[in-house]
Amino acid sequence: MTGASRVVVDVDGIAVSALLREARQPRAVVLALHGGAAFSGYFDYPDRPRLSLLRVGESLGFTVIAIDRPGYGSSAPHADEFTSAERRVDVAYGAVERLLASRPRGAGVFVLAHSIGSELGVRMAADERRGPGLLGLEIAGTGRRHHADAAGILGDWRHRPPNAGVRDLLWQPSRLYADDVVGGARIASRSPAYEGAVARTWIDTFPQLAPRIRVPVHYTLGEHERVWSGGPSALADIASLFTASPRVAVDEQTGGGHNLSIGLTSLAYHLKVLSFVEECVLAREEQASAAQVAERQQGRAS
């Protein structure tokens, strides 16, 4: 099985790169947003096909697009233009529209976001102009409160940058990953400067954005997550934020660490998320069918 195709589209004069695996008649499109200090290859790790969200998604009938978030990949030369959150959202949506312009999208677009990439995913879903048109949202590797292990390493992101120990938080226990994956050297990328501000303000911004989301939400945290607090109370806390969502599901991924999509349990994680996407597809199909029935009944009544 060959790898994903690399594509580049122009969005208002900015080149946005992405990896793509396209299903012939997709059930839906999954838009994957990587975390910090990485690029889209996070979702299609080199020489590790079993870990690939793009490959398993395509095999199950979903088109999967992993864009290099604004300031990464081809858009890196324009990183200074993305200090505005609205600009990042506009460019991400613009990239999706151009990538799907001549491609079928099935029931619609579902956003899956990891770690600091969740900031963009949540903002896209909360956007009043286009967010309600999404099928749903998955966020992982993020939260509201830092894990106790992270306190001394991260410090207070709102006042000073994290120190070098962050690497251990992201990649330990190392037994959760294949030896050649630990550290993510083959998918590493320089982070744009604006992400420092995103990291410092996220714990305040997240609770403000979540209540605006009106699509189904799935939230996953690894059993061995060390950046964010886990456990039943933390999962329930996150679920309580999405007050306008018609459905909120939370899950602790057994055997998972921070980097859920390239760990040894990544296939299990991806299958769970894609199952949720399928449920969102079925719900939308049911809504469309109900609308058609109501329209026919109204026609007969008139």
Q: Where are the domains of the chain?
A: 5-301
- Residue 149, classed as helix, strand or coil, is helix
pTM to 2 decimal places: 0.95
Q: Maximum Cα–Cα distance for the chain, whole Å?
A: 70
Alpha carbon 220 to its chain's center = 11
| Tens place of pLDDT per residue across the chain (302 aa) | 456 899 999 999 999 999 999 999 999 999 999 999 999 999 999 999 999 999 999 999 999 999 999 999 999 999 999 999 999 999 999 999 999 999 999 999 999 999 999 999 999 999 999 999 999 999 999 999 999 888 777 755 445 555 667 888 899 999 999 999 999 999 999 999 999 999 999 999 999 999 999 999 999 999 999 999 999 999 999 999 999 999 999 999 999 999 999 999 999 999 999 999 999 999 999 998 888 888 888 877 76
Within 8 A by CB and 6+ apart from 67, the residues are 16, 17, 18, 31, 32, 33, 40, 73, 92, 95, 96, 99
CATH number of 5-301: 3.40.50.1820
Work out the number of other CB atoms within 10 angstroms of the CB of residue 77. Answer: 10
CA distance 66 to 32: 5
Burial of 237 (0-12, 13-18, 19+ CB in 10 A): middle
SS3 30: strand
